[in-house]
Amino acid sequence: MAKEIIYLTAEGYKKLKDELDHMRSVERPAMSAAIAEARDKGDLSENAEYDAAREAQGLLEMRIARMEDTLANARVIDETKIDRSKVQILSKVTLLNHNNGKQVTYTIVAEHEANLREGKLAIGTPIAKALLGRKKGETVEVNVPAGTLRFEILDISI
């Protein structure tokens, strides 16, 4: 089975790599120390602290494995090769919401980098999907659970 390629910005790749390094060098040794401390407290068959520490270690190892898999399948996007005339991944899009008259700016990013507070919209969201391939000046209608939204694309940049 072929693995899914995950597209990331250089910043997103570095952030994931730093998080993985932190888990390996800080959290993993701390977890081992917690298990050793719990083991020193006596009978393991009745030691809830030991069981909890082992379970936490298992969850941490699972997170590390998942992140290693993500990084192994990641491809860093070359921003110099992005077509600025239409909306695509890494495009910074300024929109006019016709429903409320407000202007919003989103950067279309991979799922792993999405953060709405930072204006980073995941490529798999209904709004991002509707914007992909569109050009400046176009009006886009998006069906969302709350109803239909109408946006006009005011600007596209990187």
Q: Could you tell me the pTM of the whole model?
A: 0.66
pLDDT for position 62: 95
Cα dihedral 129→118→64→111 (10° resolution): 0
pLDDT at 7: 79
Averaged over successive runs of 10 residues, the pLDDT of the chain (158 residues) comes to 72 90 95 86 74 90 93 84 82 91 91 88 91 92 88 88
Helix or strand run (H / E) with residue 78: none
Give the per-residue pLDDT at 12: 83
Q: Which residue has the tokens 């990331």?
A: 8
154 to 76, 89, 97, 135: CA distances (angstroms): 27, 17, 10, 9
